[in-house]
Amino acid sequence: MTAPAATTIVLVDDHTVMRAGFRMILEAGGDIDVVGEAGTGAEAVDLVSRLRPDVVFMDVQMPGMDGLEATRRIIADAGNTSAVVIVTTFDRDDYLFQALEAGASGFLLKNAGPEELTAAVRVAAAGDALLAPEVTRRVISRFAGDAAPGPEPTPPARVAGSDVGLTERESDVLRLLATALSNAEIARELFIGEATVKTHVSNILIKLAVRDRVAAVVFAHRHGLV
């Protein structure tokens, strides 16, 4: 039997020692292959466009082009298929929000343990978002306008799931997505297979015309779907 292909990843960090540490941790399990490294955002954009890895671990603070701008350019590339995960020393809301607005699929701190780092690669490669429930609440608050300074924004029109083409089951899945459950947890909650959940999530993203799970959750809260 042919072994499944390894998940490919590019590491982007201006500290060589940090990249070496990530490489050692991620390649230890045998199912993750570090196919490239970059020390600046500009190098990362070029490398990812050539290698098309499954996942990119992206630092924020780097000389020249930072990781946030590099993420924007990678995601904006029409041929991009890579999921970008921001991995930073700083647990700052401005980094978190800018990263997600740029198109990142997740946000990790560099003090994450080996199991959390390897799990993050697999989750991102599978198309899931990497946000803990407390981070999800911060994101929803920001993007829904609850925490924005200045005049109270005009709330978007409330819609029902059927108004945007969601089936009853897809609406159920979206409500559980909004509580930061993984596909496996949603499957257990609804007594359906995990593959079925993945299909529902894909359909939800298409019907809502959003990029990823985080954007779907934000849309749902903005429009009263959950």
Q: What is the pLDDT of residue 57?
A: 96
Q: What is the pLDDT of residue 151?
A: 47
- Residue 2 placed within a domain: no
At 95 the three-state DSSP class reads helix
Going by C-alpha positions, the residue among 110, 120, 122 that lies closest to residue 15 is 110
List CB contacts of 62: < 8 A, sequence separation 6 or more. Answer: 12, 13, 14, 39, 40, 41
Q: In tens digits, what is the pLDDT along the chain, a chain of 226 residues?
A: 556 689 999 999 999 999 999 999 999 988 999 999 999 999 999 999 999 999 999 999 999 999 999 999 999 998 888 999 999 887 777 888 888 888 888 888 888 888 889 988 988 888 777 765 556 666 666 665 554 444 444 444 445 545 678 898 998 898 888 776 778 888 999 999 988 998 998 899 888 888 777 778 777 877 777 6
Q: Are residues 26 and 101 in the same domain?
A: yes
Cross-sheet strand order for the sheet of 7-12: 32-38, 7-12, 55-58, 83-88, 106-109
Q: What is the pLDDT of residue 80?
A: 85
Q: What is the pLDDT of residue 92?
A: 79
Among the three residues 70, 97, 130, which one is the final residue of a domain in this structure? 130
Among the three residues 130, 162, 187, which one is the final residue of a domain in this structure? 130
Radius of gyration in angstroms for the set of CA atoms belonging to the chain, rounded to a whole number? 18
- Euclidean distance between CA atoms 129 and 212, whole angstroms: 7
Going by C-alpha positions, the residue among 96, 88, 98, 120 that lies closest to residue 14 is 88
Among the three residues 77, 104, 130, which one is the final residue of a domain in this structure? 130
- Euclidean distance between CA atoms 61 and 64, whole angstroms: 9
Q: Are residues 85 and 188 in the same domain?
A: no
pTM beyond 0.75:
no
Q: Which residue type sits at 67? A: G
Considering its fold, how many domains does the chain have in total? 2
Domain that holds residue 175: 141-222
Would you list the DSSP string of 40-63?
A: SHHHHHHHHHHH--SEEEE-S--S
- Residue 136 placed within a domain: no
Q: What is the pLDDT of residue 132?
A: 55
Q: Are residues 118 and 48 in the same domain?
A: yes
Structural tokens at position 74: 């990678």
